[in-house]
Amino acid sequence: MILHVASIAAVFVDQTQAKCFVQCMQSTPDPPWKWWISALAPWIGPLMSGVVSIYVAWKVFRWQGNKDRAQWILDQKKAEWQELLRGAAHMRRVVSLGLENSETRAQQIREGLKPAVLELEVSAANCVFLSDFFGDEVKSKRFYSFLRDADLNAEGIDASFIRTQHLKDPHPDLTDQQRERGMAMNIMERSDLVDTIVKEFMAFNDWLRREATEDLGVDQPEKSAG
């Protein structure tokens, strides 16, 4: 009898403990991090979407900024090349490629070549964005060598005209034949200088235009064969 009562009591205690354990397990609160996740869940999606949108917008803005800067630099280079080519075009008018009379061409070169050389020198000195061109030792040397030679040839033509004028004046130590021979030699000298100036200018002008088109990325038309 006592054993039966004890077993009944043991069963009752086990059931009570089980109910208490279940109730305790059910009443245990969730960890804080779960609460925060559930609380922030409605905000995480829009927040991440906003961050992604801001990042994409920043990348687009930066790409556009770099593109605009590159275009601005290209525009500045175009402007500087235009100034150089404009100076070369002015020099083309000075050397008078359309004139056949060498004396007339020599006189025009005497009057206008040195100012045209100075104009190109000033334009080159004002170039800031053509560092690839003027920073190249070979290209820079060719550019300034042409200007130096053109300036010296212009001085040679001027000196030749001065000698001719001197020969035209009466000189008791010179015969008429000597004066005529001297003037003829001066005319030949000026003609040779004009030919040299024109030849050097044409080569320089073609070279400068090729450099401009290459630097600016301009496609040159292909020459047809034959």
Alpha helices in the chain (DSSP H): 2-27, 32-95, 102-125, 131-134, 137-168, 176-215
Q: Is residue 36 part of a domain?
A: no
**Domain-embedded: residue 34:** no
**Within-domain flag for 24:** no
In a domain, 182, yes or no: yes
28 in any annotated domain: no
Q: Tell me whether residue 153 is in a domain.
A: yes
Structure confidence at residue 224 (pLDDT): 44
Q: What is the mean pLDDT of residues 181-207?
A: 93
Burial class of residue 94 (count of CB atoms within 10 Å of its CB; 0-12, 13-18, 19+) = buried
8-66 residue pLDDT tens? 444 444 555 545 444 544 455 566 656 655 665 666 666 566 566 556 655 655 656 67
Task: Determine what percent of the chain is predicted with pLDDT higher than 90.
Answer: 48
Q: How many domains does the chain have?
A: 1
Residue 21 lies in a domain: no
In a domain, 44, yes or no: no
Q: How confident is the model at residue 66, as a pLDDT?
A: 73
**For residue 154, what are the CA distances in angstroms to 100, 104, 207, 220?**
18, 14, 21, 33
Q: Which domain holds residue 70?
A: 63-215
96: confidence class by pLDDT, cuts 50, 70, 90: confident
